[in-house]
Amino acid sequence: MDTNTAIAALAALAQSTRLDTFRLLVKNEPEGVPAGDLARALSVPHNTMSSHLATLSRAGLIRSERQSRSIIYRADVDVLRNLTLFLVKDCCGGSPELCGPLIAELTPCCAPEPLRS
């Protein structure tokens, strides 16, 4: 992920309505949520929500797909993952020991391979 992409993603998430929207979409993966439902769920006018969705889209954090009259939005978790890597690599590149605790905290919550076999 290049710097400009990262900045766009950071800026997109640095606004409460957009952050709430993105988190709501992540929770509703992979079905997605229509634009109108998002506006209603967050008590935001349709046009305001629409412009926030456009910002998140431009940042690549969400994708949309028309489904008859509704437009379904979905979170693109890959971009979130890349953004996280982008941020973490700065601190790991310089001093790996600083980020050990991060892995330690992250692993119990979402280890790549569950312990149950």
Partner DNA sequence: CTGCTTTTTCGATAATCATGGAAATAAGCT
Partner DNA sequence: AGCTTATTTCCATGATTATCGAAAAAGCAG
Q: Which residues bind a copy of itself (CB under 8 A)?
A: 3, 6-7, 10-11, 13-16, 19, 22-23, 26-29, 75, 77, 80-81, 83-85, 87-107, 109-113
Half-sphere exposure of 54 (CA within 13 A, CB side): 6
Residue type at 13? L
CB of 38 to a copy of itself, least distance (A): 16
**For residues 109 and 89, what is the distance between their CA atoms, to the nearest angstrom?**
20
Q: Out of a copy of itself, DNA, none, which partner does residue 94 contact, by CB within 5 to 8 A per kind?
A: a copy of itself
Query: In 10 A of CB 7, how many CB atoms?
Result: 11
> Toward a copy of itself, which CB reaches closer, 46 or 77?
77
